[in-house]
Amino acid sequence: MNTLILRIAVAVILLVHGMGGMFNNGVNDFGNLYLNEVGFAPFGLILAWLIKLSHVVAAICLLANKYLKPACIITIFILVVGIFMVHLQEGWFVVGGGRNGVEFNFLLIAVLTFIMFPNGISLKNKK
């Protein structure tokens, strides 16, 4: 229960980000005009839809408090790939000191990691 507020916040972000592209042709543009162009052709469109659908499924998992680790791991993987493919070349800042940088993905990765391990990760052997 101690992750409820974070789970709701990330779920809202994932739902808006995921579903927004589904209704304004953004997911199709992402697949056809970006992913296909950077080497994923002819699978760019399918990959784009899988990414967007994974955001929606992850949001549902976060809200339901079920399958948190798989949902977080998949979402973190997508965010890390997004950092290297899109955001890193833009620098750190999303706005202000730059545009479209890595800071938002970095924060989401940290929050998703906390959701997976709310009590921290212990490196000590438990007896």
pLDDT value for 98: 87
Residue 16 pLDDT greater than 70, yes or no: yes
Distance CA 85, CA 89 (A): 8
Overall number of domains in the chain? 1
pLDDT value for 97: 87
Mean pLDDT of 82-86: 96
Distance CA 24, CA 37 (A): 20
Residue 26 pLDDT greater than 80, yes or no: yes
Distance CA 37, CA 66 (A): 36
Distance CA 34, CA 55 (A): 19
The answer to whether position 78 is within a domain reads yes
Question: To which H or E segment does residue 8 belong?
Answer: helix 4-23
The answer to whether position 14 is within a domain reads yes
Distance CA 70, CA 78 (A): 12
The answer to whether position 123 is within a domain reads no
Q: How far is CA 65 from CA 48, 52, 72, 99, 105, in A?
A: 25, 20, 11, 33, 22
Question: To which H or E segment does residue 67 belong?
Answer: none
Containing structural domain, residue 95: 4-116
pLDDT tens for 34-70 read: 999 999 999 999 999 999 999 999 999 999 999 999 9
The answer to whether position 21 is within a domain reads yes
